[in-house]
Chain A
Amino acid sequence: MNCTEFLAKLTDYFDGQIDPALLAEVKQHLGTCHHCEVVVDTTRKTIDVYRGAETYELPEELSNRLRAAVMERCRISGKLPDIAVKTTK
């Protein structure tokens, strides 16, 4: 297995969806190719750092405001039972 073939299997390798025979080849390549070892390591860190970070936070205040707006729209649309609300049209 060369680097290009290794890369082609990278997604399956990460996702653990790789058959045992191929996995052995992948591991063998990793054991002998420092470049691919670095790529695997840093790609994994890339995923981890994105997973662990609050890249886009929703502040409490905005969350409350959005939720209130959603519930108001739902109420006005008139499906929920507690829509005794008389909407001014």
Chain B
Amino acid sequence: MEVQSSPIVDQPLELLAETVVAEPPAEIHPDVALVERAKAGDTAAFEQLVRQYDRQIFRTAQHITQNREDAEDITQDVFFKAFQKLNQFQGNSKFSTWLVRIAVNESLMRLRKRKTSKTVSMDQDVETAEGSIPRDFAEWRPNPEQNYSQSELAEILRKTIAGLPPGFRTVFTLRDIENLSTEETAEALGLSVPAVKSRLLRARLQLRERLSRYFRQNKEASK
């Protein structure tokens, strides 16, 4: 690749500005406009953002904390903090990812507060390696979730994920439920990419192992 001329410091400001404008237009997410309006003081725009993402933030908080009241408080706090720090949002990530990141911080803080004696650390969970080696090789019924009502299924899924160590279920939540990339998850949790991958593997395998009890073929599913 050919390096373009002089170092940036030598360029007059006008030229720099021009360079920025000349960049290929990035795909613009509709949230960007809402955020800009909110920054300019448009309450309705901010309220719209709350509407759009309150479910996701509530879900994330509850997955991590496993506590409904905490999730309610966190949802409020996340949006209030986001509002206060709106100017810090530079649009380098998606707005929803930025919100999720705040939600993760708030949730982990609550978890730590609740477990007074034992601090919840993202590193701690690594030691619990059990469950990372599959033992159950039973095939599942096709569409096993259809054997349960929606509320039964939700109950099974809640119980199952609640049994994972916080670090594992947080990674699974961000990566597989909220669809953050491995890199975004790593950034949100202050972990390295390999650490995220190894936790994700264990989380997925442990959940699989536990769900197998309900979804396997040829056996009466236990409730």
Interface residues of A (CB under 8 A from B): 7, 10-12, 14-15, 17, 34-35, 38-39, 41-43, 45-47, 49-58, 62-63, 66-67, 69-71, 73-75, 77, 79-82
Establish whether residues B176 and A47, one from each chain, have CB atoms under 8 Å apart when the complex forms: yes
**Among the listed A43, A53, A57, which residue makes an inter-chain contact with B204, where contact means beta carbons less than 8 Å apart?**
A43
Nearest neighbor of B212 in chain A, beta-carbon distance: A42
Establish whether residues B59 and A58, one from each chain, have CB atoms under 8 Å apart when the complex forms: yes
B139 contacts which chain A residues (CB < 8 A)?
Answer: 38, 41-42
| A-B CB pair tally, cutoff 8 Å | 130
Establish whether residues B140 and A70, one from each chain, have CB atoms under 8 Å apart when the complex forms: no
Nearest neighbor of A9 in chain B, beta-carbon distance: B201
Known: A55-B154, A66-B76. A74 touches B212 (CB 8 A): no
B41 contacts which chain A residues (CB < 8 A)?
Answer: 79-81
**Among the listed B62, B75, B137, B157, which residue makes an inter-chain contact with A66, where contact means beta carbons less than 8 Å apart?**
B75
Across the A-B interface, the 8 shortest Cβ-Cβ residue pairs: A56-B62, A81-B41, A46-B208, A70-B79, A58-B58, A11-B201, A35-B137, A56-B59
Known: A50-B157, A62-B72. A45 touches B144 (CB 8 A): yes
The complex places the Cα of A70 from the Cα of B139 at a distance, in Å, of 47
Can you list, as one digit per residue, whether each of B177-218 has a CB less than 8 Å from chain A (1) or not (0)? 100001000000000000001101100110110011001000
Establish whether residues A56 and B137, one from each chain, have CB atoms under 8 Å apart when the complex forms: no
Establish whether residues B55 and A51, one from each chain, have CB atoms under 8 Å apart when the complex forms: no
B55 contacts which chain A residues (CB < 8 A)?
Answer: 57-58, 63
B150 contacts which chain A residues (CB < 8 A)?
Answer: 53-54
Establish whether residues B54 and A58, one from each chain, have CB atoms under 8 Å apart when the complex forms: yes
Known: A67-B47, A71-B43. A55 touches B161 (CB 8 A): yes
Establish whether residues B140 and A45, one from each chain, have CB atoms under 8 Å apart when the complex forms: yes
| Other A-B pairs, 12, CB within 8 Å; known A38-B137, A56-B58, A67-B47 | A7-B134, A10-B204, A42-B140, A43-B204, A49-B145, A49-B153, A50-B161, A52-B145, A55-B63, A55-B161, A79-B83, A80-B41
Chain A CB within 8 A of B138 CB = yes
B128 contacts which chain A residues (CB < 8 A)?
Answer: none
Establish whether residues B79 and A43, one from each chain, have CB atoms under 8 Å apart when the complex forms: no
B80-138 contacts to A (CB < 8 Å): 80, 83-84, 133-134, 137-138
Chain A CB within 8 A of B29 CB = no
Chain A CB within 8 A of B46 CB = yes
A14 contacts which chain B residues (CB < 8 A)?
Answer: 204
- Min CB gap A17→B, angstroms: 8
Nearest neighbor of B38 in chain A, beta-carbon distance: A80
